Amino acid sequence: MIEVKNLKKQFEDIEVLKGISTVFETGKTNLIIGQSGSGKTVFLKCLTGLITPTSGEILFDGRDTTKFSYEERQALRGEIGTVFQGSALFDSMTVLENVRFPLEMFSNLNMKEMNDRSEEVLTRVNLTPESFKKFPSEISGGMQKRVAIARAIVNKPKYLFADEPNSGLDPKTSMVIDQLLHELTVEYNTTTIINTHDMNSVMEIGETIIFLKNGILEWSGDKNEILTADNEAVIDFVYSSKLFTKLREVLLEEKANLKK
């Protein structure tokens, strides 16, 4: 579990995060949503330690990471897996070498053990052995995303972060990636936090959701509650398409009929 208490981040005279408090549950896919400029990326970077918050607490299973020493922070990185936007694979490394990289950084395994573990997670994300020796430029965008996920879980992380994991993918591939992240969350019992603007992801795997607006936590709930949320900012975000607008009308009508 990750608990955030009154988190603030200011760059010079611009306050980006304005006192966010929330809880991200273990074994569930926790989503951060909001429009561009809402503070999602800065928030995620604070959680992963890439940005130091101005004030507030970030508790990883009760440990306040904002007070960690350099050595404690380095140790924590071995417990974190990250799926970066755009996958961020190393072009000069093969698929297998990309996945093995965190093990070389954070484990004491020998080369055979590292290769075995890398092949295990690549197989788990449904990649075949013939792809292991290929370079990122030789595989599709969906396959690159699977490699990025395999690299993120190769160390068996307690905490898994994903920044716009469906960016640049077609809808069908996006759904596959969503389900894979959800399955791995349950399988590894990780605290998974996903930064997304994709409403399909919200409706597929949004077990807990927080909505940010202008650096403030505007709304929280789950995928079953968001479609009928009584919040103007959430409504504007969710129903930006005609499809979801029509769906809202149907759901509100059903809700009204149940009250009769």
Q: How many distinct structural domains can be found in the chain?
A: 1
Q: Is residue 248 part of a domain?
A: no
Using CA atoms, how far residue 212 sits from 83, 89, 225, 233, in Å, is: 21, 29, 16, 9
Task: Determine the Cα–Cα distance for residues 57 and 166; give it in Å rounded to an integer.
Answer: 29
Q: Is residue 254 part of a domain?
A: no
For the record, the structure tokens of 114 come out as 């590292």
pLDDT value of residue 53: 95
The CATH number covering residue 117 comes to 3.40.50.300
Q: Are the C-beta atoms of 51 and 44 separated by less than 8 Å?
A: no
Q: Is residue 219 part of a domain?
A: yes
Q: Average the pLDDT over each of 1-5, 102-106, 229-233 and give the range with the smallest value.
A: 229-233
pLDDT value of residue 248: 63
The per-residue pLDDT for range 50-70, each reduced to its tens digit, is 999 999 999 999 999 999 998
Task: Determine the Cα–Cα distance for residues 234 and 213; give it in Å rounded to an integer.
Answer: 9
Task: Determine the Cα–Cα distance for residues 108 and 82; give it in Å rounded to an integer.
Answer: 20
Give the pTM: 0.88
Provide the mean pLDDT of the chain: 90
Q: Are the C-beta atoms of 33 and 202 separated by less than 8 Å?
A: yes
Instruction: Give the DSSP per-residue string, 191-228.
Output: EEEEE---HHHHHHH-SEEEEEETTEEEEEE-HHHHTT
The per-residue pLDDT for range 130-185, each reduced to its tens digit, is 999 999 999 999 999 999 999 999 999 999 999 999 888 888 888 999 999 999 99
What is the span of the domain harbouring residue 169?
2-230
Q: Is residue 236 part of a domain?
A: no
Q: Is residue 112 part of a domain?
A: yes
pLDDT value of residue 241: 58
Task: Give residues with Cβ within 8 angstroms of 222, minimum separation 6.
Answer: 206, 207, 208, 209
**Residue 83 above 80 pLDDT?**
yes
Main-chain phi, psi angles of 85, to 5 degrees: -60, 130
